[in-house]
Amino acid sequence: MAETIPSAQSTEIRPTGEDNVIEVLDLHVHFFTTLGVVRALNGVTFKIPRGRVLGVVGESGSGKSVTGFSIMQLVQHPGKIVKGQILLKARKDDQPINILKYDRHSQQMRNIRGNEVGMIFQEPMTSLNPSYTVGNQIQEAILLHQTPDKDEAWRRTVDILRRVGMPNPERIARSYPHELSGGMRQRAMIAMALSCTPSLLIADEPTTALDVTTEAQILDLMRELQKDIGMSIMFITHNMGVVAQMCDEVVVMYLGRIVERASVEEIFYDPKHPYTVALLRSIPRIGLSKGEKLEVIKGGVPDSYSTVTGCPFHPRCPNFMPGICDKVMPAETPIEGNPHHTVRCHLYPGSAAEAEVETSGLAPGTAPAAS
């Protein structure tokens, strides 16, 4: 099982003092595989203001899920959080706490998972137990966290199933997960995550497996519930269309780093990083003229065991500048006149080198001998 090692608590960074439900600071997660160390996250820093929706986008393998799992302290073996802080401020008047000081198996962490932070996984069966009815599972969670009264817990169970748009919530509550369609199961999982009214909901590609009609319904519903109960959402997706619909702010991830962050409007109308531009060009859009093709991003994400020096995107970048981009890791730089829009790219003035040059892949000296 992965655990937090002492260095995760040592370098204290001060929280911003704003009302952020979560602040992730300089998070590093490594997977200690038999072939070497895979650096899945290389210093990820972001925050989610209370009641806001943050989109986390990037191609497969960029570290989106590992970031979500880290907040739940559910990074699986052989993964470890090796550095960083995760500051949770569940309620407005709370002091932020660095949850990495709790053991992942501790009672405190279990409380956080059930009460303060909920997670919706891509595959509903990850969190639904096939041997209990949907209603039993939600009722259990409510009994554990909200009320000891069984009848009251059942009433709340049916109510939450109704709120996630189940047509006949009493009947659904008495059904087993396998008796439901994919869309219904997804709604049941959302109901379960919402049944504890978490301050933060982590939604990891929650609608990827669904047909577009069900997807649209579920997205509407999440947005509605988010407004109703004022929770914050970390919305992980590789679908930029979903981002436009759901999010207030966006971070773009590439190979375990955030390469751009901005409001959703700025990401769509004024993207700065060549990777963000490429991601946007690869989605269908209104105004695409007849015969104009969607672009694909050149090349693929390098495999986890190869090392890239300089900017991790340089081998695929249309704006690649030899001698700079392949040598120096660009630091996170605010776009002039807008401290809330930042980018890691040498095209932008002020993107000084970051001290650390190593980007991802194997730690030095651990490459397999035969390769």
Ligand X SMILES: Nc1ncnc2c1ncn2[C@@H]1O[C@H](COP(=O)(O)OP(=O)(O)O)[C@@H](O)[C@H]1O
Residue 115 as a binder of ligand X (CB under 6 A): the answer is no
One symbol per residue from 193 to 212: x for binding Mg ion (CB under 5 A), - otherwise; what is it? --------------------
**Residue 104 near which of Mg ion, ligand X, none (CB within 5-8 Å, type-dependent):** none
Radius of gyration (C-alpha) of the chain in whole angstroms: 21
Tell me the number of residues near Mg ion by CB under 5 A. Answer: 1
Is the separation of the CB atoms in 87 and 269 below 8 Å? no
One symbol per residue from 303 to 322: x for binding ligand X (CB under 6 A), - otherwise; what is it? -x------------------
**Interactions with ligand X, residue window 203-242 (CB under 6 A):** none
> In 3-state terms, what secondary structure has residue 66?
helix
The minimum distance between CB 41 and ligand X, in angstroms, equals 8
> Which of residues 40, 166, 259, 329 is near ligand X by CB under 6 A?
40
**Residue 22 near which of Mg ion, ligand X, none (CB within 5-8 Å, type-dependent):** none
Is the separation of the CB atoms in 117 and 88 below 8 Å? yes
Amino acid present at 39: R
CB closest to Mg ion, residue no: 65
The minimum distance between CB 207 and ligand X, in angstroms, equals 15
| Rounded CA separation 355/274 (Å) | 22
Q: Which is nearer to Mg ion, 56 or 267 (CB)?
A: 56
Window contacting ligand X (CB under 6 A); options: 58-66, 86-94, 137-145, 187-195: 58-66
Residue 63 as a binder of ligand X (CB under 6 A): the answer is yes
Question: 263-271, long-range: CB within 8 Å, 24+ apart, which pairs?
Answer: 263/340, 263/341, 264/55, 266/338, 266/341, 267/243, 268/240, 268/244, 270/341
Residue 124 as a binder of ligand X (CB under 6 A): the answer is no
Note if the bond before 124 is cis, omega within 30 degrees.
no
Residue 62 as a binder of ligand X (CB under 6 A): the answer is yes
Q: Which is nearer to ligand X, 65 or 133 (CB)?
A: 65
Q: Which is nearer to ligand X, 154 or 254 (CB)?
A: 254
Counting every residue, how long is the chain?
371
Instruction: At 208, list the tokens.
Output: 């990827």
**Interactions with ligand X, residue window 245-304 (CB under 6 A):** 304
**Residue 129 near which of ligand X, Mg ion, none (CB within 5-8 Å, type-dependent):** none
CB atoms within 10 A of CB 192: 24
| Rounded CA separation 159/252 (Å) | 36
Residue 66 as a binder of ligand X (CB under 6 A): the answer is yes
Tell me the number of residues near ligand X by CB under 6 A. Answer: 14
Q: Provide the terminal-to-terminal Cα distance of the chain, rounded to the nearest Å.
A: 29
Window contacting ligand X (CB under 6 A); options: 57-65, 191-199, 211-219, 311-319: 57-65
Nearest by Cα to 236 from 58, 367, 10: 58
Amino acid present at 3: E
**Interactions with Mg ion, residue window 50-89 (CB under 5 A):** 65
